Chain A
Amino acid sequence: EIVMTQSPATLSVSPGERATLSCRASQSVDSDLAWYQHKPGQAPRLLIYDVSTRATGVPARFSGSGSGTEFTLAISSLQSEDFAVYYCQHYNNWPPLTFGGGTKVELK
């Protein structure tokens, strides 16, 4: 099983600032990496797939990068609606599919 580790667990950011979230895989997942945004009481939302491709309707302030085992989600200028929990997930050589533990982006 591929273990996904996210850091930090909590990120305190002011609106307008840049946020950088990290995700590490226990072994290479090639480019089979997705990011989701999850707000309380809502369905999770696909943001990024294949490391860096934005899903339909996702604003350009969200960007993904990385390869192999190290990945990053960046939010260039945080908006109020971006405060949420973010999860990375691999889909390389599955099952099983696994998620990182999540990073909560909160208001500073």
Chain B
Amino acid sequence: QVQLVESGGGVVQPGRSLRLSCAASGFTFSRYGMHWVRQAPGKGLEWVAVISYDGTNKYYGDSVKGRFTVSRDNSKNTLYLQTNSLRAEDTAVYYCAKDVNYGFGYFDYWGQGTLVTVSS
């Protein structure tokens, strides 16, 4: 069965960095686009980034553009999100989500999420 397991969250000071990981199993990881979606406390879902199946195409939401970088290692079935210059408003649960195909833009499986708290 498909499993997505995020890790790497924690408490970090404003301006610092954190790298999130998402370990995938149960499907051919290298064939699918992958996304990051976040949910701030008490708020709704916000799309963060997408990476194509082969890592050549990457797109970001405006709120993280220039600060976050999505990447993947298909040999390790792992998705990453490098988060730099963190701000209080980046505090959220970060989910990785599998695209239904190479990049249709909706998600058939999600992880349980990892919490990032940006606070001094």
Partners in one complex: yes
- Contacting pair B108 A102 (CB below 8 A): no
For B47, give its contact among A38, A49, A97, A102 (CB under 8 Å). Answer: A97
Q: Are B104 and A43 in contact (CB under 8 A)?
A: no
**Count class of interface residues, chain A:** 20 to 34
Cβ–Cβ contact A32 & B44, under 8 A? no
The answer to the question of B102 belonging to the interface, with a C-beta cut-off of 8 Å to chain A, is no
**B residues 102-120 touching A (CB-CB < 8 Å):** 104-113
Query: With a CB–CB cut-off of 8 A, which chain B residues contact A102?
Result: 44-45
B80 CB to closest chain A CB, in angstroms? 19
Is A100 among interface residues, defined by CB-CB distance under 8 A? yes
Query: Which residues of A in the span 40-86 have a Cβ within 8 Å of any Cβ on B?
Result: 41-46, 49, 55
With an 8 A cutoff between CB atoms, is B73 at the interface? no
Given contacts A43-B110, A91-B105, contact A96 B62 (CB under 8 A): yes
Interface centre among B45, B46, B110 (most CB of A within 10 A): B45
Known A97-B50, A101-B44; further 10 A-B contacts with Cβ < 8 A? A32-B105, A36-B107, A43-B4, A44-B95, A45-B110, A94-B105, A95-B47, A95-B60, A97-B47, A97-B105
Contact indicator per residue, chain A 88-108, by CB within 8 Å of chain B (1) or not (0)? 010100111111111000000
| Residue B59 CB within 8 A of the other chain | yes
CA distance A41 to B112 in the complex (A): 7
The reply to whether the CB of B100 lies closer than 8 angstroms to some CB of chain A is yes
In the complex, B61 has a CB within 8 A of chain A:
yes
Asked if B110 contacts A44 (CB within 8 A), the reply is yes
